[in-house]
Amino acid sequence: MSKHRIRAVVAFIVGFIFLFPLYLVIVNSVKPEDQIVGSPATLPFPPTLDHYAAVLTRGDNLVWEGLQNSAIITVSSVLLAMIISAMFAFALWRSSSVVQNFAYGILLAGLILPTAVILVPVFKVLQAIGLANSMPGLVLFMVGYYVPFGTFVFRAFLTTVPRELVDAAMVDGAGPATTFFRIVFPLMRPATASVVVIIGVWVWNDFLNPLILLGPLSGTTIMVGLYRSVGQFAIDFGELFAFMLLASLPIVILYFLLQSQFVRGLTSGAAK
């Protein structure tokens, strides 16, 4: 067997492994309940949209409230983390190697720590400043936790930006803020797309942090809502699959909108 055929077979197997769960979600979300339990992998016959209607018309507005809160938290967290990490990466790029190594060491330590380890002290800090069980407190935590990742992505991209552009702008009288926002940041679109997609996916799909830091009385995100939609004594699998698809749809759309810049942003600076 030739190398091309082997690659094609491997690509097909890997694609099947990744796409089969998505196929199950889509198919079972439009399948009658008895067919889901009896044959979950078969095509629906006849297809039905009753599960979507039931999910979207729930009396507790779990889907709509979850989508709204998740959108607010994700957009706020991504925008703040993107701007802060881009500015921080630019400042470090202009700093000495000693400052860079020290700062990158601290950022790396922040990336290593899992959120479950720091949830209790983070909750205590938010409680001390009056932001516990609130969306601003959750956004503040998300920004602080994901800024290190964004900084590393932007730092890798900045290695491909000629320093002469920055030097020429400063010689012409541009200050650091003007140089960053009008010259450097527009060049960082691929890295920005990567940061937006990856952090957006992480924040949108996060379950544990909103569950603990937001609390049951301060609203619910779409993933926490998915957890709360599961009944204590019975599960409607059709509604559950419909809820899953609705919860995943916004972030999938975001990826397809930014996919042209996504890979470029991750691979920038790899040659250096």
Delineate the domains of the chain, giving CATH numbers in brackets. Answer: 1-48 (no CATH), 52-267 (1.10.3720.10)
> Tell me, what's the pLDDT at 142?
94
Report pTM. Answer: 0.85
Residue 270, pLDDT score? 46
C-beta of residue 265 within 8 angstroms of C-beta of residue 194: yes
pLDDT at residue 220, as a whole number: 85
Burial class (CB in 10 A: 0-12, 13-18, 19+), 158: buried
Beta strands in the chain (DSSP E): none
pLDDT tens readout for residues 169-216: 888 777 878 888 888 888 888 888 889 989 999 999 999 899 888 877
Better-scored residue on pLDDT, 24 or 80: 80
Phi and psi torsions of 132, nearest 5°:
-70, 145
Q: Is the dihedral of CA 90, 93, 98, 104 positive or negative?
A: positive
Examine the pLDDT at 105 and tell me if it is beyond 50: yes
Joined together, the tokens standing for residue 41 give 């992998």
pLDDT in tens, 84-99: 999 999 888 888 778 8
- Is 262 in contact with 269 (CB distance < 8 Å)? no
Which letter does DSSP use for residue 43 in this model?
A: P
Predicted confidence band of residue 263 (pLDDT cuts 50, 70, 90): low
pLDDT surpassing 70 at residue 225: yes
